[in-house]
Amino acid sequence: MTNLDIENRFKLAVHYKKTTEFEKFVIEIYRMRYPYIQDIKPQGQKGDGGNDGYVPGELVLQCYAPENINAKTTIAKIQTNFERAKNSNWNFKEWHFVVNDDFKGIFPEISQTIDKLNVQNQQIEIKLIDTKMLLNQVLNISKTDKHKVYNLLYYEYDVVNFNNLDALFKAVDFIVQNTKLRKFDANDAYMNFALEKFNTNVQEKIKINIKNADFIKLFGTCIGKSHEIIEEYKNKIDNFEETGRIIKEKFMFFREKYDAEESLKKTIEYFCNNNCKIDQNSRLALWIVIAYFFDICDIGDKYECNGK
């Protein structure tokens, strides 16, 4: 994942995120720097106290993502929310106002308002964070923790919520490429893949040791989801074992140069980029299919897949 990949994914994300979606996205970015940041929920008439994200003793975070940025409205929101935060007994040294300007830039009057507040409140560091500055935060984090950034930009919603059978069907098609599979019919009888016979030669298994905690969380969740969905599919897929063989072959190719985490990601990107441009659901489906083959030991030795 290059800086250009990160920038393109980030710009696409902020372009479509408004209101609460943007707020959640920003909180997750800040969580990479402040692991204990609290996501503040509004409470009746009290609202959120001018606080969307809170790091006790350090930071209050306020997000703003309107359809269009109006200088007068934005200035009023900055002033109102800062005063509310200051008068709500939050303990903080910094106050960040994060605005989704969609890389269009900020009106000078807005920046000047921040400057005035800093002069009037010298005990607090007040910052205006636009999308360009937010992107720079993500790029800086990627230098030391590429897995966190990868998860944020590619898998920002919980894998547990995935339930797109059509995407999963397509994922298998992507992997097998020229292998002919029987088309799927959602009305077919249930078939339990756990009863299928896979390669049981332990000597041919790949030993994989995933060490990164964030990657373990993602891959482990995909494994859990794979059992929930794949083992209860309503269809029989011809040549399903061929899927595992192709995954293994490509993973081994990358494993000669990269660690386990990076090899898995490159395997995913190989199927994404070399077959077609796919959406978020299809990308998650690829992870779930690949995780399934690793967990049943058709590819990996699952006793090594515990991060130890």
pLDDT of residue 253 exceeding 60:
yes
Tens-place pLDDT, residues 132-185: 999 999 999 888 877 778 777 766 555 666 666 667 766 776 676 533 333 333
Q: What is the pTM of this model?
A: 0.61
pLDDT value for 273: 64
H or E stretch at 114: helix 108-120
Query: Cβ distance 186 to 165 under 8 Å?
Result: yes
> Pick the residue with more confidence: 37 or 176?
37
pLDDT at 159: 64
What secondary structure letter does DSSP report for 47?
T
Please name which of 105, 82, 102, 103 lies closest in space to residue 94, comparing C-alpha atoms: 82
Confidence of residue 205 (pLDDT cuts 50, 70, 90): very low
The span from the CA of 174 to the CA of 243, in Å, is: 9
Instruction: Tell me which residue of 186, 283, 165 sits closest to 230, measured CA to CA.
Output: 165
Summarize pLDDT for 83-93 with one digit per residue, the tens: 999 988 889 99
Q: How much is the average pLDDT of 273-277? A: 51
Q: What are phi and psi of 170, to 5 degrees?
A: -65, -35
Task: Tell me the average pLDDT across 64-81.
Answer: 93
Residue pointed to by tokens 């998860």: 151
280-308: pLDDT as tens digits: 667 777 778 888 877 644 444 443 443 33
Predicted confidence (pLDDT) at residue 104 exceeds the cutoff of 80: yes
- Phi and psi (nearest 5°) for 197? -95, 120
Work out the average pLDDT over 243-266.
Answer: 82
Rounded to 5°, the CA angle 240-241-244 comes to: 105
The stretch 37-49 carries a mean pLDDT of: 64
Q: In percent, how much of the chain has pLDDT > 70?
A: 65
Per-chain mean pLDDT for the chain? 75
Phi-psi region of 203 (alpha: psi -120 to 50; beta: other; left: phi over 0): alpha
HEC states along 31-65? HHHCCCCEECCCCHHHCCCCCCEEECCCEEEEEEC
What are 207-248's pLDDT values in tens digits?
Answer: 556 666 777 777 777 777 777 777 665 355 555 667 777 888
What number of residues does the chain have?
308
Residue 39's DSSP bridge partners are: 53
- Looking at per-residue pLDDT, the higher value among 236 and 38 belongs to 38
Predicted confidence (pLDDT) at residue 191 exceeds the cutoff of 50: no
Structure confidence at residue 264 (pLDDT) = 80
Q: Which two tokens stand for residue 217?
A: 């969380």
pLDDT value of residue 127: 96
The pLDDT assigned to 101 comes to 94
Planar angle of CA 64, 10, 145, nearest 5 degrees:
110
Least confident of 122-126, 197-201, 207-211: 197-201
All domains in the chain, ordered by first residue: 3-154 (3.40.1350), 159-304 (no CATH)
